[in-house]
């Protein structure tokens, strides 16, 4: 087999605490990250050329700006990639980062090569996406520590169709030195999550006020928790079970909104 078909799941920051800032401007993070059963699909082989198709392909670069080609360059090879986009871009769920990580995994497999620096040079979210499983993400994203024993979470993902540039949201942070997460309480995961934060939610709402509408709409469907992922604008709701998440996804349909029921793990 000289071709690999790989899945690039949406990344969800269940928590995202900003605890400091380095001299180079990058922020120190303390985040619990999980992955959804919703994502992009890629066919990867050694060769040349990129095609982008699928329901969310509009506006995604098909040249060297695409992170999947940057990922191949990082591995020191040329790749032939067919990318099927299902995730919105610049949405806080790591679409580009997860695509890049999927290519790194496929090329590692096809070439036997190592991934330099776990892909951090491609983006702060790439190392955790390369791990591809529930993990704490710390440092600026380079410290990834797998977390075992979390239950599957029934969820909806909701993006209101507006792009949010990550850099602008970090710039809007009033405080850089916020408290870290408290120790994970697996016996009361939802209660624990409610007591944690996404520190980027405030500045992201300033950039895109519609995020507040999304969170209110999710809360109105009876979610046990509603939060924003990453730097937004995608928000998630957690539900008692998958049937409730599916019903919520139905209820949350609005023109221009991207809504998916998902299992997070």
Ligand X SMILES: Nc1ncnc2c1ncn2[C@@H]1O[C@H](COP(=O)(O)OP(=O)(O)OP(=O)(O)O)[C@@H](O)[C@H]1O
Angle at Cα 74 formed by Cα 68 and Cα 76, nearest 5°? 110
Q: Which does 170 bind (CB under 5 to 8 A by kind): ligand CDM, ligand X, none?
A: ligand CDM
40, 99, 125, 199: which one is catalytic? 125
Is residue 208 close enough to count as binding ligand X by CB under 6 A?
no
Q: Please check if 211 is assigned to a binding site.
A: no
Residue 45 interacting partner from ligand CDM, ligand X, none (CB closer than 5 to 8 Å by kind)? none
Q: Is position 11 annotated as part of the catalytic site?
A: yes
24 counts as binding ligand CDM under rule CB under 6 A: no
- Is 95 annotated to bind a ligand? Reply is yes
Part of the chain binding ligand CDM (CB under 6 A), chosen from 24-32, 36-44, 104-112, 212-220: 24-32
Binding to ligand CDM (CB under 6 A) within 113-132 occurs at 123-125
Tracing tokens 């790749």 back to the chain, one arrives at 79
Radius of gyration of the chain (CA): 18
CB of 49 to ligand X, least distance (A): 15
Asked whether residue 139 is marked as a ligand-binding residue, the answer is no
* Piece of the chain touching ligand X by CB under 6 A; list 89-97, 188-196, 220-228, 248-256: 89-97
Of 4, 19, 27, 89, the one binding ligand CDM (CB under 6 A) is 27
Angle between helix 95-111 and helix 67-74 axes, rounded to 10 deg: 30
Does the annotation mark 176 as catalytic?
no
Residue of 93, 110, 204, 226 interacting with ligand X (CB under 6 A): 93
CA separation, residue 237 to residues 142, 190, 257 (Å): 27, 11, 15
Q: Please report how close the Cβ of residue 10 comes to ligand X at its closest, in angstroms.
A: 9
Q: Which of 6, 13, 35, 134 binds ligand CDM (CB under 6 A)?
A: 13
> Which of the residues are catalytic?
11, 125
Q: Given the rule CB under 6 A, which residues bind ligand X? A: 60-61, 65-68, 89-97, 99, 125, 166, 230-231
Q: Given the rule CB under 6 A, which residues bind ligand CDM? A: 13, 16, 26-27, 29, 31, 97, 123-125, 140-141, 166-167, 170, 230-231
Write out the binding residues: 88-98
């Amino acid at each position: 087999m000289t071709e690999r078909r790989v899945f690039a799941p949406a990344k969800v920051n269940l928590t995202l605490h900003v605890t400091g800032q380095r001299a180079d401007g990058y922020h120190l993070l303390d985040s619990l990250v999980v992955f959804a059963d919703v994502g992009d699909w890629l066919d990867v082989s050694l060769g040349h050329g990129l095609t982008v198709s699928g329901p969310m392909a509009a506006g995604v670069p098909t040249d060297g700006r695409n992170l999947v080609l940057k990922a191949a360059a990082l591995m020191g090879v040329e790749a032939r990639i067919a990318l099927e986009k299902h995730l919105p871009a610049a949405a806080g769920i790591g679409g580009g980062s997860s695509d890049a990580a999927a290519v790194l995994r496929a090329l590692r497999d096809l070439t036997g090569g190592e991934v330099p620096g776990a892909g951090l040079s491609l983006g702060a979210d790439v190392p955790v996406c390369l791990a591809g499983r529930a993990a704490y993400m710390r440092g600026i994203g380079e410290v990834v520590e797998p977390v075992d024993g979390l239950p599957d979470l029934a969820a909806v993902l909701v993006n209101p169709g507006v792009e949010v540039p990550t850099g602008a949201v970090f710039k809007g942070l009033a405080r850089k030195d916020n408290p870290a997460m408290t120790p994970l309480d697996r016996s009361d995961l939802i209660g624990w999550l409610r007591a944690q934060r996404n520190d980027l939610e405030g500045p992201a709402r300033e950039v895109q006020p519609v995020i507040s509408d999304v969170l209110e709409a999710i809360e109105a469907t009876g979610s046990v928790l509603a939060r924003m992922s990453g730097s937004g604008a995608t928000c998630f709701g957690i539900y008692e079970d998958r049937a409730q998440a599916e019903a919520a996804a139905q209820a949350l349909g609005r023109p221009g909104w991207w809504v998916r029921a998902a299992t997070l793990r």
